[in-house]
Each structure stands twice: as structure tokens, then as C-alpha cells.
Amino acid sequence: MVHAVEKAVADTPDGQVTAVGLRVGVMSGAIPEALEGAWPIAIAGTRLAGATLSVEVIAAQIWCSSCEATQEVDEFYALTCPACGVGCGNLIHGREFEVAYAEVSTPDDP
């Protein structure tokens, strides 16, 4: 997680990372509360030390070819269309685990 953020801010090597946003799908296996809990430990001693973390949770969505629509699915009924009940493997959202943004303050900022 920290490594991904460090990669995202690699083009501003002098800056201090002040805030990080993550996009985490409900089916990514990552637990937002656990990420937030582990954050201060994970960033200690890195460029990210002191940065705040905000986690955006992405709901699971499938493309249902029967409804011809995007349907939001409950993670417990994953991959079954909630509207028509047809099983469907076209998960289009929900497995995200990505850096949404990373704010960097550079020494020459006002």
C-alpha cells in the first residue's frame, strides 16, 4: 500500500506527502478500518510519515447481460444480479485497490 503511494509520488521526490486517498473495492479483500488502523505504522519512517489517509469504498457492480444494465451487488450475493437473479461473472467494480490521490507539499510551496 505504502509502496504504491510512493510510486504515485515518485515524480516529486522532494515533497512531503501530506494526504493520501485510496479507492478500495468491497471485494478487494482489503478492510478500510484495518487499513486506517495500520496506516500510522505502515508510514512511519517513510516519505508518507504524517500523511492523512482517506479511504473511499467502492461498491461492487456487475454488468448484467440479462437486464442490459449495471447493477450494484451486495457483496454477500456477489455476482448474482439483484434485479433478475441471473448469475453473472462480469464484475466491473469492487476489486479496486488503487491510489486515488496523493497530496505532496514541496519545500518551495508558499
CA distances from 49 to 20, 29, 60 (A): 11, 25, 31
Q: Which CB, 20 or 81, lies closer to Zn ion? A: 81
Q: Which CB, 49 or 83, lies closer to Zn ion? A: 83
As measured in angstroms, the least distance from the Cβ of 65 to Zn ion is 8
Sites of contact with Zn ion (CB under 5 A) = 64, 66-67, 81, 83-84
State how far the Cα of 35 lies from the Cα of 49, in Å rounded to an integer.
Answer: 15
As measured in angstroms, the least distance from the Cβ of 89 to Zn ion is 13
List CB contacts of 40: < 8 A, sequence separation 6 or more.
none
Q: Which CB, 47 or 93, lies closer to Zn ion? A: 93
